[in-house]
Structure 1
Amino acid sequence: MITLTRLNGKAFTINAFYIETVESFPDTTIQLTNGRRYVVKESVDEVTQQTLSFFRKVNLLDPALKGGTTE
C-alpha cells in the first residue's frame, strides 16, 4: 500500500498491486486494473518511487535493482 494525496489535500492509501498506468495530464492520474482513476498531487516519479519502495518491502523486487538495472 502507498499513501498519496488527492488534489483537495486529503491523504489516502492505494494498493500498489492494482496500479495499471500512471500518467501526467498535467495532473498525475493513476488508473487501476479495475478501471478506477485517481488524480493526485504527487508527480509520476514520486508515485513510481513509492511503488518500487513498496514492492521492495514485500520482497517482490531485489533491493539491488534501481531503475530497472542491476548494479
Structure 2
Amino acid sequence: MIELVGLNGRTFFLNADLILKIEETPDTIITLVDDRNIIVKNKAVEIKELIIEYRRKILADSQNLDSINKEG
C-alpha cells in the first residue's frame, strides 16, 4: 500500500495494485480498476515513485524469504 494525501489534507493508504491510471488536470486524479476516482494532493510523478518503491520492497521481501527457505 502507498500513503497518499487527500484534498482534505488527511493521509490514507491505497492498494497500488488497484490503480488503473493517474492524471493531472491540474488536480491529481487516480482512477481505480473499478472506475472509481480519487482526487489527491500528491503529484502524479510522486505517486509513480511511491508505487515503484512499494513494488521494490515486495520483491526484496520475497527474495529474502526465498533465501531463508533455502537455508532452512
Measured against the shorter chain, the TM-score band is 0.7 to 0.9
- The 4+ residue runs of structure 1 with deviation greater than 2 A are none
Superposed, 1:1-71 pairs within 5 Å as: 1-59=1-59
- The structure with more strand, counted as a fraction of residues: 1
Structure 1 runs not aligned, ≥5 long: 61-71
Question: Residues 8-43 of structure 1: CA distance to partner in whole angstroms, max 9, x if unpaired?
Answer: 101110000111000001010000101111100010
TM-score (norm 1): 0.80
TM-score (norm 2): 0.79
Percent of residue pairs bearing the same amino acid type: 37
Query: What secondary structure is seen at the aligned counterpart in 1 of 2:47?
Result: helix
Tell me the distance in 2 between the aligned counterparts of 1:36 and 1:15: 13
Structure 2 runs not aligned, ≥5 long: 61-72
- The structure with more helix, counted as a fraction of residues: 2
Over the residues paired in the alignment, what is the CA RMSD in angstroms?
1.2
Query: What secondary structure is seen at the aligned counterpart in 1 of 2:49?
Result: helix
